[in-house]
Structure 1
Amino acid sequence: MYERCVLENIPANKRVSLPEDIANLPTVQCVPLKVGKYRQRFDDASVRALREYDVDVLLRFGFGILTGEILTLPKYGLWSFHHGDPEHYRGAPPGFWEIHNKEPVTGVVLQRLTEKLDGGIVLHSGWFKTNIASYPRSLNRTLMGSAHFVARALIDLRRDPSALVDRPCVALCGQIYRYPRTIAVFEMLMVSVRARVFELCRSLFSHQQWAIGFVQKTPEKLLEEAGEAATPIQGVSWLPEPAGRFLADPFAVDGDSGVILAEEFDWKTGRGHIASIRSDISDPIDSRSAVREDFHLSYPYTFEHQGEIYCVPESAENNEVALYILNQSTGTWVKHKSLLSGCAVLDPTIFSHEGRWWLFCTKSGAGANEALYAWHAEDPLGDWHPHTANPLKVDVRSARPAGRPFVHDGHLIRPAQDCSTGYGNGICFNRITRITTDEFAENFAGLLLPETGTYGRGLHTICAAGPRSIVDGARSVFIGAEFCRVLRKKFGGSV
């Protein structure tokens, strides 16, 4: 009854008409026959009818656990979604037990089915933040956010069919779950209610006050110390906080000069601009405006090219990726050109690797912390082209950029935010193993957590500054202006 009343109304479960160009394609009425207690196979007539089409791929949407010739009839197999991480959750219903058990993430796998239950060949996978406060919203995000997996797998198939066939099978470690009984549904609802109340209270009374700090270690050294374990950062010297504002997203302007660009957020206006500060100043911080627009700016990513210093701040509110150049004689920043327009990009990160320039980011809206996108160019001042495999990955634990990439032991390391337990709750180091204009692969290299002291609420940017690292950290505070903004957002203009 819960599924009928609530889940059928989410966007992912609403029926839509097929596009006109495929609505009249031929169809085959398949007859499933029961095999044992749980499995099904297609009858001989259905198999013969399908064989006539000489299909490359079939997609499974429905039926029971399929067995028999239908699994091998398509040249590249029968593909099916598993909405759950099979290393931890197998069975049904999708996304339910993750909320019941308070799991921070929910996995999704697109697999080529085999005779082994839940043990197919992995074609694509992703991990989404579990919305413990709302099963419908959590399930809808998981379903909608993984819909592109089929297109991504088809792109991989076209590029290299043999690589698709040689992929590993799903690791069968997870417990098999069944549809819940009444007591489990009640327990899940109680978990959701408590999470919803906690989420509301935190949004009203607990706000992230960010600050900038220095560690007397390079990012490479911090990665080595973190290893593959989740390690809290230590030895941070924090700069004083400016009154009524916070500083975050620090980037060194030119190595070890001590000049930093950072987001300076005004709690009163609810808007950020880019500030220029020095690391050798005393309390109070004496910052000056470097880039100010009539829309929100943050994440002032800097890079050098042909003797010039550039800044690419996040300007998603203006649906643009804008490039600013430093006038080195006056110390002022001037808008140079627009790199991308009509695109609400978050945390744009530009770097050069093996003769090509790359722009990594996420996008505003659903999946802001989950889906990684990339553009590439021969020159950062030239034309940018989207990666053919966008989004490159979906993983709330390691997608959204968190600072400047660096090289360690011959590998390119990409810092990313771990947002699985909350926004900016750690920095995940990713080791890029393959990057071309139509391929991308990276794996986990280490996780750096916030300190155990004052700024233990967040850690989401890291940048080298000579022999040191600049980071940011958050602590929980109550901000009256933010309290009022949240009330207005949740209850409209009545507050």
Structure 2
Amino acid sequence: MSEVLRVCVLLGGETIPAWQANALRRLLADEHVEVSLTVVDAETSQRSPLDAIRRGIELREWGVIGALLAVLRRLRGPLPSQERVPVDDIDALRTATRRRCEPISVDGWKQRLPDEIVDEIAASTDLVVRFGFGVLVGRVLTATEYGVLSYHHGDLREYRGMPMGFWEYVHGRDTAGVTLQRLNETLDGGEIVAFERVDISDADRWGGVKSRLFEASESMLANGVRNLRSDSRETARPDELGDLYTTPTGKPVLTYLAKTVRGTL
């Protein structure tokens, strides 16, 4: 494989979580892969404290849990896998062409990239890796040869939506999945490019579940790109999709609190 794969990385800001940085470094260890373009979400940096308060009210009781978790993160620090790494610490991202853009809202919860950005992506790259922006729709999904790759921290054949690893933890599952998917316009319904099943049977808190999922994620980007570029094309369209989960309310929140207390004790 001699042809260089040109990658566009979509970013949420000027830093990324450590697990994403590690995934990119593993991908870029292949001399036939380069990052030629990064696109940064300019809208993210414009969100105000008032936006956070408004969002907390919308989340009801989960907003209170989220606020408490934020306080704990400040006291204890983030999970190692979620430590923020400056984008410019990664040579390939620092030297790549960088564009900033504000996504266009679609139906109030999806996002479409501006046409001029999509045109540049199509002209200069072969693959897009989504580490920023929201639920993408529109031309960007098919603008490059290999499409848009995005992580879903769950097995999309069983658990779609969010929060990552939460429902598997609350439901007492022994395992959880991590899916690297090639996006289409179905939420968490893309083609499976790489998949890992992770043992969470002895994880006594949700943070432990997330840590294991992030750790499993680091090697998957390089593996998924290899699958896409191989002659065998070891990818799969899911035969069926799991239930779509969203922000918990009511009994699942109480179950989460009870399990967390037991795990802490």
The 2-side partners of 1:77 and 1:21 are apart by 20
State the 1:182 CA deviation: 6.5
Question: Max radius of gyration: which structure?
Answer: 1
> In the alignment, what sits opposite 1:186?
254
C-alpha distance after superposition, 1:436-487 (max 9, x if no partner): xxxxxxxxxxxxxxxxxxxxxxxxxxxxxxxxxxxxxxxxxxxxxxxxxxxx
CA distance in 2, matches of 1:158, 1:174: 28
User: Structure 1, unaligned stretches of length 5 or more?
Assistant: 198-495
Q: Are the counterparts in 1 of residues 178 and 216 from structure 2 also a CA contact under 8 Å?
A: no
The answer (yes or no) to whether the contact 1:28–1:50 under 8 Å persists in 2 is no
Alignment correspondent of 2:226: 155
Deviation at 1:147, TM superposition (A): 1.5
Q: How does 1:27-106 map to 2 (within 5 A)?
A: 27-53=98-124, 55-106=125-176
Q: Structure 1, residues 260-313: CA drift from partner, whole Å, max 9, x if none?
A: xxxxxxxxxxxxxxxxxxxxxxxxxxxxxxxxxxxxxxxxxxxxxxxxxxxxxx
**Cα pair 2:205 2:259 within 8 Å, conserved:** no
CA deviations 1:391-412 (Å, max 9, x no partner) are xxxxxxxxxxxxxxxxxxxxxx
Q: Which of the numbers 92, 96, 103 marks the counterpart of 1:25? A: 96
Partner letter of residue 155 of structure 2? D
- The partner residue of 2:178 within 95, 108, 117 is 108
Question: Does 1:143 find its partner at 2:214?
Answer: yes
CA shift for structure 1 position 121: 0.8
Q: Secondary structure at the match of 1:119?
A: coil
Deviation at 1:97, TM superposition (A): 1.0
More helix by share: 2
Inter-partner Cα distance in structure 2 for 1:172 and 1:115: 16
Kindly tell me the number of residue pairs found equivalent between the two proteins: 193
CA contact (8 A) 1:86 1:171 kept: no
1:132–1:192 CA contact under 8 A, matched in 2: no
Q: Does 1:4 align with 2:70?
A: yes
**Larger RCO (CA within 8 A; separation ≥ 6):** 2
Displacement of 1:22 in angstroms is: 3.7
**TM-score, normalised via structure 1 length:** 0.37
Q: In the aligned structure 2, how far is the partner of 1:144 from the partner of 1:2?
A: 24
What letter is aligned with 1:4? A
Q: Whole-Å Cα distance in 2 between the matches of residues 114 and 6 of structure 1?
A: 36
CA contact (8 A) 2:152 2:179 kept: yes
1:5 to partner: Cα distance: 3.4
Aligned twin of 1:175: 243
- Deviation, 1:146, is 1.4
Percent identity, aligned pairs only, is 31
For 1:102 and 1:42, locate their aligned partners in 2 and report how far apart those are by CA, in whole Å.
39
Q: Which amino acid aligns with 1:96?
A: F
Structure 1 or 2: larger strand share? Answer: 1
SS in 2 for 1:103: coil
User: Does the residue aligned with 1:163 lie in a helix, a strand or coil?
Assistant: coil
Deviation at 1:190, TM superposition (A): 0.9
Distance in 2, matches of 1:62 and 1:19, equals: 16
Question: Match for residue 280 of structure 1?
Answer: none
**Cα separation, 1, equivalents of 2:185 and 2:152:** 15
Paired AA for residue 254 in structure 2 = F
Aligned-partner residue type, residue 222 of structure 2 = A
Q: Which structure 2 residues correspond to residues 324-403 of structure 1 after superposition, within 5 A?
A: none
Q: Cα distance 1:85–1:5, how it changes in 2: closer, same or farther (>3 A)?
A: farther
Deviation at 1:117, TM superposition (A): 2.1
Q: For structure 2, which runs of at least 5 residues remain unmatched after alignment?
A: 1-66
**Superposition TM-score, scaled by structure 2 size:** 0.66
Name the Cα RMSD after superposition.
2.2
Structure 1 segments of 4 or more deviating over 6 A? none
